[in-house]
Amino acid sequence: MKISVIMPVYNGELYLREAIESILGQTYTDFEFIIINDGSTDTSGSIIDSYKDSRIKHIKNERNAGLVSALNVGIDLAQGEYIARMDADDISLPERFAKQVAFMNQHTEVGVCGTAYQYIGNRSGTITLPESFEKSFTFLSSNSCLAHPTVMIRRAVLEQHSIRYENDYPYAEDYAFWIRIGQVAHLTSLSEPLLSYRWHSANISQSTNRQSQSRARARILWYELALKCPLSDLQANYLEKKKLSWEVFKAGKKLIKSILSAKITLPVDYDYYGKLAVTEWELEIIDHFGLRGVIACLIDLVFRKKGTPTAIGLIAYYIHRFGVSLALGIK
């Protein structure tokens, strides 16, 4: 079996038939369709049962366990080489699976392949996401680089590295998931829109309060994991080209690792760390925009090759200034 399609459903009767039929209507047919009915109290269960296609596996939860649990159940049950995600209110275009499988077969270094998507419902337009690994990885430092319901995932990557969705990032579980996978495999998106993404009042992505807190924690996770990795050729070449001091980079890296592990409790000695790792104008940006300012400085300057940044020292300054507990979302 090539693909395991995972689709959680919770009270999704309104658009469920369209979603199911868009999967059953795929031109690529070698798949199992795992539908996790997560304690629905509407007619979702009977809608699922009305389909007699042998590829459908209807998993019934008596109580609503939540999206993270449902997704992990689906992963644990999956038998396919690839795992395709689907939401119960979206529509996959007929060639989606065929084009993603062809791409994944040709690019074994890719762990996740998403696609562009088009809005339907209360919004219109087409959204494209980064195609190159470098851009996707950089994009992750501030936001998700993949549209969750469009992705196809190489299951072996999840199994080999014990990666699953985490409850620590409600409403941003996909964002943290990509960060974990991005440490061990490439992430990319096809430029062709292969999914219709429904935008409506109940859309989960509009739950902004807890989502923003989770995203902040996921951003910190990105930096924590990134610090464990050696510099990429792109980063190393840039630092050499700009003639940035390796001492600056190493000082900033050492400082942020100490802060993230909560080893620093006294004010930072800026004569050694701060002045070396953060410039005065960068401090002004950070003070005004907070974490968004930090990310803007780091990404715009380091990866997009503008100006002379001080790299990771920016993050070190922000986390220390506003407190480890606040930055990590620890209560």
Is this structure's pTM higher than 0.85? no
Triad 307, 310, 316: Cα angle to 5°: 140
Angle between helices 313-322 and 246-260 (to 10 degrees): 30
Q: What is the pLDDT of residue 260?
A: 59
Residue 7 is which amino acid? M
Tally the C-alpha atoms within 13 A of residue 289's C-alpha that lie toward its C-beta: 15
Structure tokens at 70: 């449902």
Alpha helix ranges (H) inside 29-132: 44-49, 67-77, 96-106
Distance, in Å, from the CA atom of 53 to the CA atom of 48, rounded to the nearest integer, reads 10
Q: What is the pLDDT of residue 200?
A: 78
In terms of Cα–Cα distance, which of 273, 277, 256 is closest to 319? 256
CB atoms within 10 A of CB 22: 18
Q: What is the pLDDT of residue 214?
A: 78
- End-to-end CA gap in the chain: 45
Q: Which domains does the chain have, with CATH numbers?
A: 3-224 (3.90.550.10), 230-328 (no CATH)
In contact, 264 and 320? CB cutoff 8 Å: yes
Burial 45-80 (b: 16+ CB within 10 A, else e): bebbeebeeebbbebebeeebbbbbbbbbbbeebeb
pLDDT tens, N- to C-terminus, the chain (331 residues) = 899 999 999 999 999 999 999 999 999 999 999 999 999 999 999 999 999 999 999 999 999 999 999 999 999 999 999 999 999 999 999 999 999 999 999 999 999 999 999 999 888 999 999 898 877 876 776 678 999 999 999 999 999 999 999 998 888 999 999 999 988 899 999 999 999 999 976 665 555 666 777 777 787 777 667 666 655 565 555 455 555 555 666 666 666 666 556 554 555 565 665 565 566 655 665 566 655 555 555 555 444 344 444 545 555 555 445 443 333 333 2
User: What is each CA distance from 148 to 68, 87, 157, 252, in whole angstroms?
Assistant: 13, 9, 17, 33
User: What is each CA distance from 176 to 222, 276, 280, in whole angstroms?
Assistant: 8, 31, 32
Q: What is the pLDDT of residue 173?
A: 93
Q: What is the pLDDT of residue 66?
A: 96
